[in-house]
Amino acid sequence: MTAFSLEPGQRAWCAELRTLAAERLRPLADKGEPGHVNRPLVTELGHLGLLARLFTSGALDLCLMRESLAYACTEAETALALQGLGAHPVHAHGTAQQRERWLPLVSDGSAVAAFALSEPGAGSDAAALSLTAHPDGPGRWRLTGEKCWISNAPEADLYTVFARTTPGAGARGVTAFLVPADRPGLTGTGLDMLSPHPIGALDLDAVPVTAADVLGEVDGGFRVAMGTLNLFRPSVGAFAVGMAQAALDATLEHTARREAFGGRLSDLQAVSHEVAEMALRTEAARLMVHAAATAYDDGAPDVPKRAAMAKLLATETAQYVVDRAVQLHGARALQRGHLLEHLYREVRAPRIYEGASEVQRGIIAKELYKDLEADR
Q: What is the pLDDT of residues 173-210, one digit of tens each?
A: 999 999 999 999 999 999 998 888 899 999 999 999 99
Spatial separation of the C-alpha atoms in residues 208 and 142, rounded to whole Å: 5
pLDDT at 247: 97
Which distant-in-sequence residues (6+ apart) come within 8 Å of 278 by Cβ? 244, 247, 248, 251, 320, 321, 324, 325
Answer yes or no: 354 catalytic: yes
pLDDT at 1: 41
Spatial separation of the C-alpha atoms in residues 323 and 290, rounded to whole Å: 24
- Tell me which of 287-291, 317-321, 354-358 is least confident: 354-358
Which distant-in-sequence residues (6+ apart) come within 8 Å of 125 by Cβ? none
> pLDDT averaged over the chain?
93
Q: Which of 168, 167, 126 is nearest to 147 (CA)?
A: 126
Spatial separation of the C-alpha atoms in residues 63 and 69, rounded to whole Å: 10
Q: Within a 10 A sphere around the Cβ of 7, how many other Cβ atoms?
A: 9
In the set 253, 354, 358, 373, the catalytic residue is: 354
pLDDT at 371: 82
Question: b/e string for 233-269 if b means 16 or more Cβ within 10 A?
Answer: bbbbbbbbbbbbbbbbebbbebbeebeeeeeebbeee
Look at residue 50 and tell me whether its pLDDT is greater than 70.
Answer: yes
Q: Note whether 142 and 207 are within 8 A (CB).
A: yes
Q: What is the mean pLDDT of residues 9-26?
A: 95
Q: What is the mean pLDDT of residues 271-298?
A: 96
pLDDT at 128: 82
Q: What is the pLDDT of residues 237-271, one digit of tens each?
A: 999 999 999 999 999 999 999 887 888 999 999 99
Q: Note whether 190 and 199 are within 8 A (CB).
A: yes
Cα end-to-end distance, the chain, whole Å: 26
Spatial separation of the C-alpha atoms in residues 108 and 38, rounded to whole Å: 14
Look at residue 231 and tell me whether its pLDDT is greater than 90.
Answer: no
Q: How confident is the model at residue 25 (pLDDT cuts 50, 70, 90)?
A: very high
Question: b/e string for 91-114 if b means 16 or more Cβ within 10 A?
Answer: bebbbeebbebbbebbbbbebbbb
